[in-house]
Structure 1
Amino acid sequence: MDQNFWIAFAASLIAGGVTTSGIFAIRRFGGWARQNITYFVCFAAGVLIAVSFLHIIPTSFAMSPQAPFYLFAGYLFMLVFNRFLTAYVCDKPETAEYALGLVPLIGIGFHSFLDGVVYSISFSVSMFTGALVAVGMVLHEFPEGIVTYTLLIRSGFSERRSFLLAFLAAALTTPVGTLASYPFISQIHPPLLGLLLAFSAGALIYVGATHLLPRAEREPRRFSLVALAAGILVAVGIILSKG
């Protein structure tokens, strides 16, 4: 394994640790975590959206002329997959209560695995691209852990089981995704790597613009726009520092 792998794997471990800290925070310090989750969500969304549009997408487009199709496919895949899970579980009356926690659990578990794949792809493109993605991804892991645990508790699971399931689905799957994907991604030619990067960007835009922001808007806070702007400015600052 080369140096990029170890850096990508370290980033995925950090992401898993941040998710775990979110789960721990909502369990131990529920009032503080619930009070500030909207700000975490808005800040993370700002970083993810800005990084995707200003760096990841242009990079992927430069690597392959077919990248726009994969960008669109990545967004649609996450959208359809999320709707499929919701419709498949929530239309059963006997599982309606558990669906509140299980649907996000399955979706977040799959998404977290893809996070690990995204680390593999981005660090294979360049260290700078990987660092940008890592910042955005790590920032959204904390609220993801909080949301996962909270929904499981609200669904009727015990605190211990909720903690374990949230850790397995939202935290552990990220480094597993990196381990499983990097040996293959590191051998892919640049044009195909550009397509995968575009697909990942579509998924990131879905997470930031379609998944995180609407959740934050349902619980409006006074400085939520400030948090969103701060996330965008952080991403822009990192991108500009490249020059």
Structure 2
Amino acid sequence: MDSQILVALALSFVGGLSTSAGALLVILNPTPNLKMLGLLQGFAAGLMLSISFFDLAHNALNSIGFLRGNLWFFAGVLFFAFIVNFIPEPTATAEANNIQKDDDGSGKDMMKKHRRDVLFSGIITAVGISLHNFPEGMAVFLGSLKGLRVGLNLALAIALHNIPEGVAVALPVYFATQSKWKAFKLASLSGFAEPLGVVIVAYLFPSSLDPEILDGLLGSVGGVMAFLTLHEMLPLAFDYAGQKQAVKAVFFGMAFMSASLYFLEISLPKEVSL
């Protein structure tokens, strides 16, 4: 059990570092681009939807049956629908696109006027990402119990989508404060809520779970991820990049994640999974 916890912690730290990597993409870019933020949010949403439906929910349906798999999945949806009522909604900052494009002298004054709202959006996004990183940590831990292949699949998906999450936090903070350190610090802190989730869930769950309960819990995590994607990530992607471009980014993310899951499956030896 201790070795499984260590493996899950290592995989979750990869996710946390990926959030920091996303922040680096922002602070190394001298001109923050909110349209790029929208595209990355759409790409991340595609990753999340792919892992939710094509891996977690799919495995639950195959393992415990269509009815019970769906019950577990929608239990996760309802659970996060309840939790999200206590998470403040981020304010849309699409107006900042117009601020950046303003060529006359009034652009600077308008930017100062809206920086507080943009900063608030970044902080709320960081809070939301930190909260949803707890079930991601749970997913990595449960996946590691199920088998190394499942744990690696989840860790890869989470790490990939944590990169644009880091951008999502760092970009508005950097845009509002012009401080690279503040942007990097807030994004990194939101990412490292994930290994904290592993530690918490490792001591809340018994050392051995019934396989049906384990598959059901993974299906529930898929429901949580799907709800989070549709409720929080897609609206922001539409606000920043526009509906048409964001939808293209979503499907590109889904294709990318599906391909990565396939190549992981054929490359890992079968004996590493249960």
Partner in structure 2 of residue 75 of structure 1: 77
| Bigger Cα displacement from structure 2, 15-24 vs 105-114 | 105-114
CA distance in 2, matches of 1:155, 1:80: 31
Pairing of 1:125-136 with structure 2 (within 5 A): 125-136=146-157
Query: Tell me, which stretches of 5 or more residues in structure 1 are unaligned?
Result: 91-95
| Bigger Cα displacement from structure 2, 130-139 vs 38-47 | 38-47
Q: Secondary structure of the residue that 1:86 maps to in structure 2?
A: coil
1:173 shift after superposition:
0.9
CA distance in 2, matches of 1:74, 1:144: 21
Q: Which residue of 210, 213, 218 maps to 1:189?
A: 210
Do residues 43 (structure 1) and 43 (structure 2) align?
A: yes
Partner in structure 2 of residue 114 of structure 1: 135
Alignment CA distance shift 1:39-1:235 (3 Å) = farther
| Bigger Cα displacement from structure 2, 17-26 vs 59-68 | 59-68
Partner in structure 2 of residue 6 of structure 1: 6
1:43, 1:230 within 8 Å by CA — same for their partners in 2? no
Using the size of structure 1 for normalisation, the TM-score is: 0.78
1:2 shift after superposition:
4.7
1:100 shift after superposition:
2.4
Partner in structure 2 of residue 164 of structure 1: 185
CA distance in 2, matches of 1:104, 1:111: 11
The code of the aligned residue for 1:147 comes to A
Q: Which residue of 131, 139, 152 maps to 2:160?
A: 139
CA distance in 1, matches of 2:257, 2:57: 16
Partner in structure 1 of residue 53 of structure 2: 53
Partner in structure 1 of residue 249 of structure 2: 224
1:226 shift after superposition:
6.1
Provide the aligned C-alpha RMSD in A.
3.3
Alignment CA distance shift 1:47-1:225 (3 Å) = closer
| Bigger Cα displacement from structure 2, 116-125 vs 104-113 | 104-113
Do residues 175 (structure 1) and 195 (structure 2) align?
A: yes
Q: Deviations over 1:183-222 (max 9, x none)?
A: 4444322232223212211111123344333332330449
The code of the aligned residue for 2:215 comes to G
1:73 shift after superposition:
2.5
Alignment CA distance shift 1:162-1:56 (3 Å) = same
Alignment CA distance shift 1:28-1:230 (3 Å) = same
1:22 shift after superposition:
1.2
Choose 1 or 2 for highest CA Rg. Answer: 2
2:18, 2:159 within 8 Å by CA — same for their partners in 1? yes
CA distance in 1, matches of 2:193, 2:35: 27
Alignment CA distance shift 1:34-1:4 (3 Å) = farther
Alignment CA distance shift 1:42-1:231 (3 Å) = farther
1:176 shift after superposition:
1.4
CA distance in 2, matches of 1:213, 1:226: 12
CA distance in 1, matches of 2:174, 2:160: 23
Query: Tell me, which stretches of 5 or more residues in structure 2 are unaligned?
Result: 92-115
